[in-house]
Amino acid sequence: MNYKIANRLNNILENDKISDPQHICEVLKDEIKPLIKSYIDLESDIKVRFKKENNKNIFWIEFSADRIKPFGYIPF
């Protein structure tokens, strides 16, 4: 699964250069949210921020949680 996520992220960042950074943040948010919700009860919505520094793409993903779900938890 990590390979698929890394591959999709690479496609977003490298191949879709027409998109603006805010659009990339929204796409990442939509992709990451289901994964986070599998492990954490979110208190508020996820925030994704982007900054380009030289040749690096820097992302900040921020969220607050009510609790972390125990491992082995099967969501209903």
- Residues sharing a CB contact under 8 Å with residue 45, sequence separation 6 or more, in sequence order: 63
Summarize pLDDT for 6-24 with one digit per residue, the tens.
787 777 766 665 567 788 8
Picking from 68, 32, 67, the residue whose alpha carbon sits closest to that of residue 47 is 32
What is the spatial distance between Cα 30 and Cα 23, in angstroms, rounded to a whole number?
11
For residue 44, the 8-state DSSP code is S
What is the spatial distance between Cα 59 and Cα 73, in angstroms, rounded to a whole number?
29
Summarize pLDDT for 10-66 with one digit per residue, the tens.
777 666 655 677 888 888 899 999 999 988 999 999 999 988 889 888 899 999 998
